[in-house]
Amino acid sequence: MLRYTAIMFAGLGLAAAIVAASYWWRASRVAPAEQVASISDVPELHIMGTEVAFNESSRLNSIAAIWTGIAAILSAIGSVLGVV
Question: 3-class secondary structure for 54-67?
Answer: HHHHHHHHHHHHHH
pLDDT digits (tens, 9 = 90+) for 22-69: 999 999 999 998 877 787 788 888 889 899 999 999 999 999 999 999
Amino acid sitting at position 42: V
State how far the Cα of 32 lies from the Cα of 43, in Å rounded to an integer: 13
Q: pTM of the entire structure? A: 0.86
State how far the Cα of 46 lies from the Cα of 50, in Å rounded to an integer: 6
Residue spans per domain, the chain: 2-30+41-83
